[in-house]
Structure 1
C-alpha cells in the first residue's frame, strides 16, 4: 500500500469529518475520503446550512412585509433580490466548508478528494477527482457516506423543474405555483421558504398528518399555523405521475386509499419524501457486509459491521437521519477505535423543524408512551402566556412536558414556537441526567425569556403552573 492509516473514513459529512477530528485528537493517523470538491457532506453543501440561510433571509422578507407596520416600522420600496439571497447563502456555505478543510489540517487528517470503495479487508481504493487511482490501507475503515434524496417510481428528478432538496435551494426564480411532495421536515422548510417569497404552495402528503414522528398534538397545531401562512395541504394523497409540458407541469394525484384522480398545475415540483442511505458502489459485497432493502448497513453492536475493523455511522445505519446524530456517531466510533467507551443515547437526539414557528422535540411522544403502556403525566404551557413571546408578538405554540407518573422522570418534551430549536438543548441536558419535571420546575430561569415556558410547563406536570 502506498498509504497506510489507523483509520480511513469514507465520507466527509458531519459524521465523517467529526469522526476524523476526534481520531486526530486521539492521536490516530487518519484519512478522510470525499467525492465532493468540498467537505461537509449534504448538510453543509446542499442541506442544513444553505436551507437555514434561505429560511433566515426569507423570514426577514416576510416579516418586513407582514409584521413591521404593526410594530411601528414603516417600509417603502421593499423588493426581493433573489440573486443576492442565493449569493449570501452560497457565501455561508463557502465559509463553513473552508472551515472544515482547516480543521482537517489542524488535526493532521489527510484529505483525499475522490470516491472511495472497499476492495478488501483493510483496503480502500480511491477514484481520485483528477482521474488517478490511489490504494489505501487501514487498520480501521469507517463508512460515513450519508444519504441521498429518495425518489418516487416513474418520476424523473431533473433539478430544474422537478427538484430534490438540492434543486430547491437553487431555483433561478420564484415559481408562481409550487407543488411539494411530502410534509416532512425538509418539505415544510422548503415550502416555507418559497411561500414567503411569493409562491402558491400545495403540499401533497400520503399520510393523514404532517411530520411523521412528531407528537400528534404538535403536528395538528403546526398544520393549522402553516395553513394560516398560506400553505395548502392535500392529505392522504399520493402522486401518480408528472407530465412535463413546455410551459408548466401537470401533477397527477389521487387519494391514497383509492378514489377519483385529479391534476394539479405547477411551475416547479419539489420531491421531499425522505432520504435513503448512500451505500451503493462502496464494495460492501467484496467483504461480505450486507444491507437491508433500503440500503441500511448491517451492524452488530456500537457501529461495528459484520466484518472486524469496518465500522458504519450516520445516515447509512439505523436511527434518525440527522446531522447531529451523525456527529455523535462519529465521535463515539473514534473513541471506540481508540479503546475508549464511545456511546450514543438515541433517545436524547432532538429533532428540529426550522420553520416559523419552529418545532422541536426529544424523547418519547404521547402515543409512544401509550403503546409502551407507560403511565405518564402532562404539563403544558402556551407561549401566549409568556411575557417575552407577547412583547415579541410571537405567541403561536406551546411547550409540553411528559413525565413518568411514578418517578417524575422527564420522558419527552415537545415544543412549537419561535426559537424552540434553541430551547430544546436545555431539556436534552436535563434528560441526560435523568431529571424530574420538578428539577426543571425548581430551576430559576431568567425573566423575561422564552425559556420560562419550559419551566412553567414542567410546573404543570404536578399542577402548579403559576403564570397561566
Structure 2
C-alpha cells in the first residue's frame, strides 16, 4: 500500500495520458489497470488493431484493382488470414509495450487489477487499499446493446467490434447493425476480404450527425465498393443457430417485417460508459440518465478529490478527446489552468476514402440561424489524387458570411484524417478562410484541395 498524489483508474488514452502528464508535473502517480496490457480498448481491441486491418485490406484492394494500371503486373496476393491476425497482434503489442515503457520512464506505478473507490481518497485493488489526494476515473466505455431488441453477443456468430477483430475465418456473409464509424470501418475491412456485407441502420442516413453532403457521398462510394444498405430499419431480434445468424427487423416507413441471414452479425450500435464495480452509487457520485459521470468544467465530480474524463463522461467517445481531457485534468490537479476546446475536436472515419470533420455542419449552422458561406473543392481537380486513383470526394470549408472566420470543415477523400488538422489549427487561431487561401501549399499534395476550398469561400477555386 502506498500514498499517492494521484491515482488514475483505467489506462486507456485518457488514463495513460493523464498519468504521464501528472508525472511530468511532479505528482506521485499510479494507474490502476485490470487488463494484462496497458492502453485500454483503443490500443487492445479498438482504434489500433482496426487500423492495422484497414491498412492491410486497403493494400489488398490496391493490389487487386490498381497495381496493374500502374504497370505492376503479377498474380494478386492471396490472403493468409492467420498471418494478417498475427500482424494485427504484433501492432497491438508494439503499442501497449510502448505505454509500459513510458510508465517506467516517468516513474508511474502500474497497480495491476480492477479498482474500486470505497471512499474519497482511497482506491481498493484486490485486498490492498491505496491512498491518493486525487482520483481520476478514466474507466472508458463498453459495447452498448441494440435499443429495444433481443440480442445476446456470443462473440462467435453474434459479435461486437472485439469479436470482429479475431474471427477464426473470413465469413462469406456479414450483417452489420449500425451505420456509424465502427460498423462502416469493420464492414469495409471484411468487404475488401470478399465478404458480402449488408448494413442495417435505424436512421435514414449513415454516420449520424455528420454533414449531409458527406453522408450522401460516403454512402454512394461505399455502395460502389460492394456494401449494401438497409436504411430506416428497426432491429427486433438477432438469433444464432447452426453456424448462421438471423436478424429480424421492421422497416419504419411501412412497419413491414423482414428477416436477413448471415454467417456473422456485427453489432455496432455504439458504446456506453463503463463504470461497473467502481462503487460510485455508494460514494454518491452524480450519474446522468445516460449513465455518464457528471463533471464540472474542471472535470470534477460532485465528490471532492474525484475527477472523471473520457468515454465515461459527456461528449464524443473519441480517444483524442479523452487524451485532451487527461492532460487538462492533470493541469487542474497540479494547480495550473487546464483547457479543452470542445468546438475543435476532429472526428475521422478510416475507410478509403477517409472521412474527417471538425466544427459545425451546414445543418447545424442553418438551425442556429448563422449566416455562412461554403467553399467546396473536389479531389477530381487535385493532380496528386488523380495520379493515386484517389480522386473520390471533396473538401468543404464553412466560414462566417460576415467575418470569414472558419466555423467548420468536412473532408471526404485521401488522407482526410490528416488534412483536417490544418483546419483545426486555423480554427484554434480564429483564422479566416482567406488566411488558409493565402498560405502557400506545396504542389503536388492532397493539401492543395484544402487551399482550393478556402479559395472557393472567396473569389473561387483555381483548378475547378
TM-score bucket of the superposed structures, by smaller chain: over 0.9
Tell me the CA shift for residue 257 of structure 1.
4.7
The equivalent of 2:24 in structure 1 is 25
User: Which secondary structure state, in structure 2, belongs to the residue aligned with residue 377 of structure 1?
Assistant: strand
The equivalent of 2:420 in structure 1 is 424
The equivalent of 1:139 in structure 2 is 133
Residues 168-193 of structure 1: CA deviation (Å, up to 9, x unaligned): 01111111110000000000000000
**Contact 2:9–2:31 (CA under 8 A) maintained in structure 1:** yes
**Contact 1:163–1:271 (CA under 8 A) maintained in structure 2:** yes
Which sections of structure 2, spanning at least 5 residues, go unmatched?
none
The equivalent of 2:125 in structure 1 is 126
Range that drifts further, 297-306 or 261-270? 297-306
The equivalent of 1:65 in structure 2 is 64
The equivalent of 1:54 in structure 2 is 53
Match of 1:188 among 174, 184, 187: 184
Taking structure 1 as reference, are residues 439 and 251 closer, same or farther at Cα in structure 2, changes over 3 Å only? same
The equivalent of 1:315 in structure 2 is 311
The equivalent of 2:38 in structure 1 is 39
CA distance in 2, matches of 1:365, 1:201: 29
The equivalent of 2:411 in structure 1 is 415
User: Are residue 158 (structure 1) and residue 157 (structure 2) matched?
Assistant: no
The equivalent of 2:102 in structure 1 is 103
The equivalent of 2:277 in structure 1 is 281
Range that drifts further, 245-254 or 362-371? 245-254
CA distance in 2, matches of 1:307, 1:250: 46
CA distance in 2, matches of 1:445, 1:236: 43
Taking structure 1 as reference, are residues 258 and 302 closer, same or farther at Cα in structure 2, changes over 3 Å only? farther
**Contact 1:379–1:463 (CA under 8 A) maintained in structure 2:** no
Given the two structures, how large is their TM-score scaled by the length of structure 1? 0.97
Tell me the CA shift for residue 293 of structure 1.
2.7
Tell me the CA shift for residue 77 of structure 1.
5.4
Tell me the CA shift for residue 280 of structure 1.
2.0
CA distance in 1, matches of 2:253, 2:101: 52
**Contact 1:123–1:138 (CA under 8 A) maintained in structure 2:** yes
CA distance in 1, matches of 2:49, 2:389: 27
Equivalenced residue count is 462
Tell me the CA shift for residue 108 of structure 1.
0.8
**Contact 2:395–2:411 (CA under 8 A) maintained in structure 1:** yes
The equivalent of 2:349 in structure 1 is 353
CA distance in 2, matches of 1:306, 1:53: 40
Residues 108-157 of structure 1: CA deviation (Å, up to 9, x unaligned): 11101110101001111112xxxxx2101110000000001111242110
Taking structure 1 as reference, are residues 36 and 258 closer, same or farther at Cα in structure 2, changes over 3 Å only? farther
Q: Which runs of 4+ in 1 moved over 6 A?
A: none
Taking structure 1 as reference, are residues 378 and 6 closer, same or farther at Cα in structure 2, changes over 3 Å only? same
**Contact 1:189–1:355 (CA under 8 A) maintained in structure 2:** yes
Tell me the CA shift for residue 30 of structure 1.
0.4
Residues 38-71 of structure 1: CA deviation (Å, up to 9, x unaligned): 0000000000000000000011111111221222
CA distance in 1, matches of 2:76, 2:253: 48
CA distance in 1, matches of 2:426, 2:33: 36
Which sections of structure 1, spanning at least 5 residues, go unmatched?
128-132
The equivalent of 1:169 in structure 2 is 165
